[in-house]
Structure 1
């Protein structure tokens, strides 16, 4: 899947990434006790336990999109803000993605629930080396629309999640830079007030040192479930 990114807001695209392999890193938190608690919570709802922590889900690369409107089957899917890393000409970059997931299907299989939904990606990016020294200070957050109001849905610093280098090494076995042609979605933070759907999802990665942000907004068009 061919994606285009600019390195500054409102600039023309300067990066062209051809993503052939898409990986969604699940259970990517640093606090193993908190992860186990979350696994038990989901297990009580019928969601199968992961076979490993972290777990690397493969999703078809044609599920990546930079559109501002997506389509989803039924009303039980929702977004998750996550960082997205990829490599172009030997340089790794960080952008923003939503691991949009079908929550009803999740009880049947997490991999299936991730595959059925497209993964929206922002159109701006930063060089990973420009933020790696203070990576843990970066903030990811998202908002949803409820009763016509914009509501904060997720917010947290990246110190709660595993470093991309660690996730990449866990997937590749020995590398700390993602191979060319690969894209990795790197984990998320909890939903404030619980996981729930919304027809609008706004996501942001904020750099407090340089007072800049990567942002992306998408709307969800619901398709009817026909039996």
Structure 2
């Protein structure tokens, strides 16, 4: 799957295209046990079994990645999750954002399958990881959903609550360097008011030191669930 980004760094901006051949979703990626347990209980409340270990690395088909502003999902029980998205291009590690859109009904049966059946929207902008690595924990991820005709804050938290990307990469690849062609979705924060579906989803990664934001929005079209 080829993705296109406007990549910003301290030396300027440039357009890059990246061929992704392997997609990894890091689940249960909270940095402290309390945060992990909160998310486990949040999902357990809607019927999702507890994980066998943490973190877990789910493999998802790379053709589920999309930078479109519209996706389709079977049934009305899917929802998004804002997460950082890291990839390597030209020997450099970059960070963007993605939504680990997941079928919550199927998730009660199989977390791995629930992630596979939904598209994974990705922003069209990225930052050089080296430019934000020093203050990574200060970055803020947040998301909004449309609810009762209004834009509602759905998730918000600093990356200090999640395992840093190099740690997750090392846990998966055995080294702190992500292979070229591999992308990783790096974990999320809890939903405000509980996990629930919505017709649209907006996600952001905010850099408080430089006052800049990566963002992406998409709509969800519900397809009929036919028996």
How far residue 204 of structure 1 moved from its aligned partner, in angstroms, is 0.3
TM-score scaled to structure 2, two decimals?
0.95
Deviation track 1:7-47 (CA, whole Å, cap 9, x = no partner) reads 25xx9971111110100000000111332354345445432
Q: TM-score, normalised by structure 1?
A: 0.95
| Counterpart-to-counterpart distance in 2, 1:79 and 1:42 | 13
Indicate the residue corresponding to 1:179 in structure 2: 179
Which residue of 2 is the match for residue 89 of structure 1? Answer: 90
Tell me if the contact between 1:156 and 1:189 (Cα under 8 Å) persists in the aligned partners. Answer: yes
2:169 maps to 1:168 = yes
Matched pairs, number:
224
TM-aligned CA distance change 1:222 to 1:13, over 3 Å = farther
Q: Return the structure number with greater strand share.
A: 2
1:50/1:223 CA distance change after superposition, 3 Å: same
| Residue 221 of structure 1 pairs with residue 224 of structure 2 | no
**CA separation in 2, counterparts of 1:12 and 1:78?**
32
Please give the secondary structure, in 1, of the residue aligned with 2:114: helix
Q: Answer yes or no: is the 8 Å Cα contact 1:96–1:122 preserved in 2.
A: yes
Shift of 1:89: 1.1
Native 8 Å contact 2:42 2:194 kept in 1: no
Structure 1 residues 209, 44: closer, same or farther in 2, change over 3 A? closer
Mark the CA change 1:195 to 1:219 in structure 2 (over 3 Å): closer, same or farther: same
- Coordinate RMSD, CA, aligned: 1.5
Distance 1:152 1:38 in 2: 17
User: 4+ residue stretches of structure 1 with deviation over 2 A?
Assistant: 36-46
* Helix, strand or coil at the partner of 1:194: coil
Change (3 A) 1:169 1:12: closer
Structure 2 residue ranges without an equivalent (≥5): none
- The answer for the alignment partner of 2:29 in structure 1 is 28
Report the equivalent of 2:4. 4
Any stretches of 5+ residues in structure 1 without a counterpart? none
1:189 equivalenced with 2:192 (yes/no): no
